[in-house]
Each structure stands twice: as C-alpha cells, then as structure tokens.
Amino acid sequence: MFTRLVAEAQQLPTIGDRPPCLIGLHTGGVWVAEYLHRALEVGEPLGRMDPAFYRDDYGRIGLKLGMRENQLPWSIEDRRVILVDDVLHTGRTIRAALGALFDYGRPACVQLAVLIEREGRELPIRADAAGARVHLPAQQRVKLRGPEPLQLIHEAGA
Amino acid sequence: MNDLQVDEQGRMRHLLSLDGLAARHVQEILDTAEALLEVAARPVKSLPLLRGRTIANLFFEASTRTRSTFELAARRLSADVLNLDVGSSSAVKGESLLDTLRNLEAMHADMFVVRHVDSGAAHFFARHAAPGVSILNAGDGRHAHPTQALLDVFTIRRHKPDFGNLCVVVVGDLLHSRVARSQLRALSLLGTGEIRVVAPPTLIPEQIEAQGVRVFTDLDRACVDADVLIALRLQRERMRGPFLPSEREYFLRYGLTRERLAKARADCLVMHPGPMNRGIEIESAVADGPHSVILEQVANGIAVRMAVMAICLGNAGREGQA
C-alpha cells in the first residue's frame, strides 16, 4: 500500500524545481506523511496541521479534545503543497484543511495524497495519489493506528 | 453551585470558577490554548470558528485592559463582539441584572463575559441563562478570576511543564485578591509540588493552609529555591485602610527585588497579573529583567481566553440544538 502511494506521489505534476511542502493531517495523516517524507527524500522539513478549528461539525459536536498545534516551517506562498491523510472518506476533513491552509498564504497548487481512498464523498474532493482505492460498506469505519507499528483498524459501524 | 459549569456529560459549558472543575478540564483548556497560540503569528490572525456568533462583554466594573483581551480573543475567533460598560453601583442587583440578561438574550448573544464588583454575579447569570448561552467570569468581587489563573499556569507550563517538581510563590494581598484565589486552585489542580503564599499577617485569609499552601510572612525566606515568583497587584485603594502602614514599607518587606530574586532558582520565572505598581510590589529592574515573563502573560491571555470561548460555546451549542 505504501509502495503504491509513494509511486503515485512521485508521478504528481511538479511546479519548478523546489520540493513540495508536505503537510500531514493529525494524527494518522502525520504518520503517513512521515513515511512519504522519507521515501520521497523531500529536502525540507515536514509540516503538520490539525484542521479541527475549521471543521463544519463544530456547531454540532463542539471542539474535539486533544487539539494539536499547526507546524508549517516554511511559507506556502506560491509553493506546491501536498496534503497527506490516512483515509479519504467524506472529504470534510480535507475541506477543513484547505480552509486552514489558505489562512497561511496562497499556494501555487494543492495536491492530496492518502493511504486509503474509499467511497462516500460528500464534497467535490478526490485524491491525487492513493495507496489503495477500496470499496467498503458505508457503515464500516477504517482508521490508521500507530505510530509503531502502523496498523489499519477496521470497525463495523453501529 | 459550581456544577452549573459542566453539562451532564461533564463537559464545560460555562467558566465561572476553577472550583468545581477537574484537572482534565484545565488540561483541555491549556492544550487548546497551546494550539491557538500560533494564530497570532499567521498572516491571517483569525479563525472562522465562531463566525456568526455574538459575544457580549458585560463589564459592571471598569477594566479596559481585561475587556480588550476578551474582545481580541473573540475577534480572533471571528465572533461578533458587543461591548457594554455598565456603570457599577450597589443598586445593580437581582432583578435589574436579570433584566440585563434577558435584554441581551433577546439580541441573540451566545456568550456573556461578565465582570462585576459582587462575588457570585457570573453564577447568577449562569443560573438564569437560556439553553445554548454560555457565561464566562471575567472577575467577580473577591471571589474568582479564572481566566487570569489559567493564563498564569499556561505561562508556567510553557516554561516548566513538570508541576509536581515546582515551588511557586505567590506574594501580595491574598485577602482581597480574586486572582490569588483562582491561582491557588489552578496550581493545586495541576499538582504543584509546593505552593508558598506570602503576605502581611493582616492580608492572609483565615484557614488558607487548608488549601494546601505554606504560609510565610518573610518574603526573603519564601524566595529560597523558588521556581516561580508571582507578585499580586496591590490594590492601592486598600492602602488607606487599616491593613498596611505605607507603600514604602510594603515595598521593603514584600516587594520583588533583585536581592530576593537572587535567592530563587537561577531559572526562576517572575510573573505579575498587571497592571503593575512599580516600586511597590515589584522593582522595575525585576519587572523588565530577564526572568520576567509578564508580557508573555499578556499574549498567552488571549490564547487562553480563545480556548475557553471555543470549548464553552462548542459544548453550549450542542445543547442549544438538542
């Protein structure tokens, strides 16, 4: 799965000679991004982002516990940004992450790399690179557990 | 009456006092504040979280600076802010307070930040608030000033996170200080190793030892091996009363000076809730010296107030929906 993700990420369109700004989304996305960051030999530090302050369900469920600080150790202005997450499902986390991202500047382009892309999108968002594209029953949940060892957890939904 | 602050699932929906809150509530606020601190350094210094919500600052006791930090916190979360400086008078009580609340609720305010000269004013509002409305205590009488205490422990945690091994000294008017009351509670919730309080005997509340603190009347002794020194603001209006002889004598006995700081640990932090009376509770060379984190406290105060607003309104909003 990781091999395929790396292979697809290497094929992503580039802009100029500068390496991409890799941003992992807390928490699972950060683990995937750390792997990708090593595999792609990106010559710049990894970014980390928690999009919880931008989520559309704050009005329904409040603020989630265990917020993490955003760490973007470079300016994203005019750069190619790759957002990295573990699972792409409804697309709402990515929407929140895009909202957060644009408060840091105007990137040249944003690409999305995920370990698993599954059906169930509620927004016009797709992955540009994926380790696996899978069909799962709508109620089944899948998430990454880690960091050592990284493990995919399947949970049957209620 | 403090369980008013949390809902049936134990989630915080008002912040009235640190009494009645658990360590995990404090940790949650501090962790969220840590994530919010970075907002001030961004090109866009605000989050869309509270867009479309209204926060009313209701100050029955004037305090431009505290009000400004609450206002800035609300604006950084994209809330609309309504500032009401209500004249403070002992006649403002009971029914008229309730009228004020109902009027503002009719304007669809979602949160009230309340400062009042009377202890218990914020509790009064919380008891009568409509579902979905949150109350934040910005200081009530001699009772509590929880956000100040939270920003103080947040500032300490950013430098010295291991509270179990800390010796924290609080010096000043403990009898009248709502800041001190809240600070002692916050420090003990976080498991602070040793809390020392220092004040003239006339300004030490009875039975303060019951809060797990060591009482000193000699600041020189209290400063030995301290990790954190917190000077409280001397409310100068009290100087005219029978409590203290003179400002000069207060400074000589209870002022934070370089000589006293030298007795503390080499990396000791110096803190003050502001506004400072230089030359009375703290010497300028200490207030502006390398140990001072007083200006950091101000910046941290905005992040902590943002965190409390985001958590309380998130939980209260859930309730308004049900």
Q: What is the pLDDT of residue B321?
A: 60
Question: Is A66's CB within 8 Å of B31's CB?
Answer: yes
Which among A63, A69, A103 has CB closest to B311? A63
Average pLDDT over residues A105-117: 97
Is B35's CB within 8 Å of A65's CB?
no
- pLDDT over 70 percentage in chain B: 94
Cβ <8 Å between A53 and B47: yes
The whole-number pLDDT of residue B313 equals 96
Q: Cβ contact (<8 Å) for A62 and B317?
A: yes
Q: Are B56 and B82 in contact (CB under 8 A)?
A: yes
Q: Tell me the pLDDT of chain A averaged across its residues.
A: 93
CB A112 within 8 A of CB A39: no
- Chain A nearest-CA residue for B77: A53
Residue in chain B lying closest to A58 (CA): B314
Q: Does the distance separating the beta carbons of B317 and A59 come in below 8 Å? A: yes
Q: Which of A63, A104, A106 to mutate to test the interface with B (most CBs of B within 10 A)?
A: A63
d(CA A148, CA A131): 19
Instruction: Kindly state the tokens that stand for B317.
Output: 């909003």
Q: What is the pLDDT of residue B100?
A: 84
- Closest residue by Cα to residue B124 from B114, B132, B111, B138: B114
Instruction: Name residues 22-41 of chain B within 8 A of A (Cβ).
Output: 28, 31-32, 34-38
Pairwise CB contact (< 8 Å): A63 & B314 = yes
Nearest residue, CB atoms, B48 vs list A63, A68, A99: A99
Q: Which residues of B11-45 are buried (b: 16+ CB within 10 A; e: fewer)?
A: bbbbbbbbeebeeebbebbbbbbbbbbebeeeeee
Helices (DSSP H) in A24-111: which residue ranges? 28-39, 58-61, 92-101
Give CA–CA dist B139/B118, Å, rounded: 9
Q: Return the pLDDT at B93.
A: 54
User: What distance in Å separates residue B49's CA from the closest CA in chain A?
Assistant: 6
Is residue A56 pLDDT above 90, yes or no?
yes
Which of B34, B42, B46, B315 should we substitute to test contact with A (largest number of A Cβ atoms within 10 Å)? B42
Size of interface A-B (CB pairs under 8 A): 55
User: pTM for the whole thing?
Assistant: 0.93
Mutate to test the interface with B, among A53, A54, A55, A104 (most CBs of B within 10 A): A53
What does the alpha-carbon distance between residue A127 and residue A114 come to, in Å, rounded to a whole number?
7
Q: Phi first, then psi: what are they for A87, rounded to 5°?
A: -130, 130
B321 contacts in A (CB within 8 Å)? 59-60
Measured over the CA atoms of residue B67, residue B69, residue B74 and residue B76, the dihedral's sign is: positive
The predicted structure's pLDDT at residue B237: 67
The secondary structure element, H or E, covering residue A88 is: strand A80-88
Is the Cβ pair B42, A104 closer than 8 Å?
yes
* Chain A residues whose beta carbon lies within 8 Å of the beta carbon of residue B11: 62
What was the pLDDT predicted at B322? 47
C-beta atoms of B31 and A60 within 8 A: no
Nearest CA distance, B210 vs chain A (angstrom):
33
pLDDT in tens, B199-248: 999 899 988 988 899 999 999 999 999 999 999 998 876 666 677 778 88
Q: Cβ contacts (< 8 Å) between A53 and chain B: which residues?
A: 35-36, 47-49, 310
Residue % of chain A over a pLDDT of 70: 99
Joined tokens for residue B301:
């105060």
pLDDT in tens, B158-190: 999 999 999 999 999 999 899 999 999 999 999
User: What is the predicted ipTM?
Assistant: 0.88
Residue of B nearest to A53 (CA): B49
Q: Check residue B211 and give its pLDDT.
A: 87
Alpha carbons A138 and A156: distance in angstroms, whole number: 10
Q: Where are the beta strands (DSSP E) in B117-226?
A: 134-140, 167-171, 194-198, 214-216
The nearest alpha carbon in chain A to B47 belongs to A53
Contact state of B44 with A104 under an 8 Å Cβ cutoff:
yes
Q: What is the pLDDT along chain B (322 residues), one digit of tens a residue?
A: 448 999 989 999 999 999 999 999 999 999 999 999 999 989 899 999 999 999 999 998 888 889 999 999 999 999 999 988 776 544 455 567 888 888 888 989 999 999 998 899 999 999 999 989 999 999 998 899 999 999 999 999 999 999 999 999 999 999 989 999 999 999 999 999 999 999 999 899 988 988 899 999 999 999 999 999 999 998 876 666 677 778 889 999 999 999 999 999 999 999 999 999 999 999 999 999 999 999 999 999 999 999 999 999 999 987 756 4
Q: Is the minimum CB–CB distance between B322 and chain A shorter than 8 Å? A: no
